[in-house]
Amino acid sequence: MNLGIKSIQTAILMMLLGYATATHVIAAPQKLNQPVRVSQAVQLKDTLVVPGERVGLVTRKTTKANLVKLFGQSRLKDETISGAEGIGKFAVTRVNLGSQRSFTVVWSDNTRTKATSVRDFGSAWKTPESIGIGTTFNELRQKLGEFKLYGLGWDYSGTVLIETTKLAKYKGKLNLQVGAAPNAGNKFPKQYQAVSGDATFSSTDPNWKPLGMRLVQMNVSL
């Protein structure tokens, strides 16, 4: 494994474990330690993602009990996931709010009392730069500038090296992964293979163009 892969692996593990440095925590718009009616909570419009600070009402201080008050027990599902390359096990809670607003909270441990990161976002969640699931490759180039990313077809497939972009301030706080359209590998095997594997590629590489690349995963450290 080269130094670049070690670097991105470390960044992702740090994000999941919550050791990435956050500048400050924005207080939630309402007190999370007081009861909130589920019918009211479901109508919450805040789908802003601020890397290193908050995901809607979720901050580093959010607990599983807070999620129950905000969204109701029936919308929550506790699970355990593995890290990249099968490294580590992490307690998570899936918040099921439909295809556009759902998300998954990653906890520091099995007590589920300290949120460290959020992932598996629905399409409604956006950063202040309007980056979210479904953002096209061309849109990313407009927002990030030209960037480097890892090749397709492995654990770090399509991971953007954000430290080389206009959003370098989010390094260690935001992880973006792009992916090709379904069956792109069958329809355009030459181009797909040309940008696959354990290597970095430029976003200007013409082989990306026919693959229908879009943002498919976004991990946010709190």
pTM over 0.85: no
Residues 8, 94 within the same domain: yes
Both 113 and 196 in one domain: the answer is: no
Residues 115 and 141 in one domain: no
Look at residue 128 and give its three-state secondary structure: coil
The answer to whether 28 and 59 are in contact (CB under 8 A) is: yes
Does any domain span residue 128? no
How does pLDDT run across 181-197, given as a tens digit for each residue?
A: 999 999 999 999 999 99
Range of the domain at 97: 3-119
**Total count of domains within the chain:** 2
DSSP string covering 56-100, please?
Answer: TTB-TT--HHHHHHHH-GGGEEEEEEE-GGG--EEEEEEE---TT
108 and 65 part of one domain: yes
As a whole number of angstroms, the distance between CA 195 and CA 212 comes to: 13
Residue with tokens 């479904």: 134
pLDDT for 44: 63
Both 142 and 113 in a single domain?
no
Q: Tens of pLDDT along 92-146?
A: 999 999 989 999 999 999 999 999 999 999 999 999 999 999 999 999 999 999 9
